[in-house]
Amino acid sequence: MKRTSLLLSAALLAASTFTLANEADSKNGLTVYAVQNPDMVVTGARIRDAGITDATINALRNNPNLTGHIAVETVDGTVKLQGVLATPSQARSALRTVSKVDGVAGVQPELRTVIFRSY
């Protein structure tokens, strides 16, 4: 049941209006994606945001306490996290991890847990 919920949530996330680019390999049970909005124009700020997204993905993938799926999008230094994690403590851990990434101006969490509590 838990696995089915995670897979269903990941499928719904992938069906959003954004495209998921460069699916990261799963590590420690966590899959992290970079989200690209096809309508965005690439500028210097967008290149900086791409670097923040990459650093955020690496930080999340290196957090051994996370299991689930997270999509990462950065706009003007604010990182939006969308996805499903196993527990509320994992959601809090993800927020702490991202807030420590160099260049992150803010975090916009849209995380759900398997027990359907939002953060």
Could you read off the pLDDT of 22-40 as tens digits, one per residue? 444 455 667 776 765 545 4
Q: What are the b/e assignments for 83-110, b being 16+ CB within 10 Å?
A: bbbbbbebbebbbebbeebeebeebebe
* Domains of the chain, earliest start first: 2-113 (3.30.300)
* pLDDT one-digit tens code per residue, 61-99: 999 999 999 999 999 999 999 999 999 999 999 999 999
Considering only CA atoms, which of 50, 52, 69, 58 is closest in space to residue 7? 69
pTM above 0.85, yes or no: no
What residues contact residue 45 under an 8 Å CB cut-off, 6+ apart? 76
Q: How many CA atoms lie within 13 A of 57 on its CB side?
A: 22
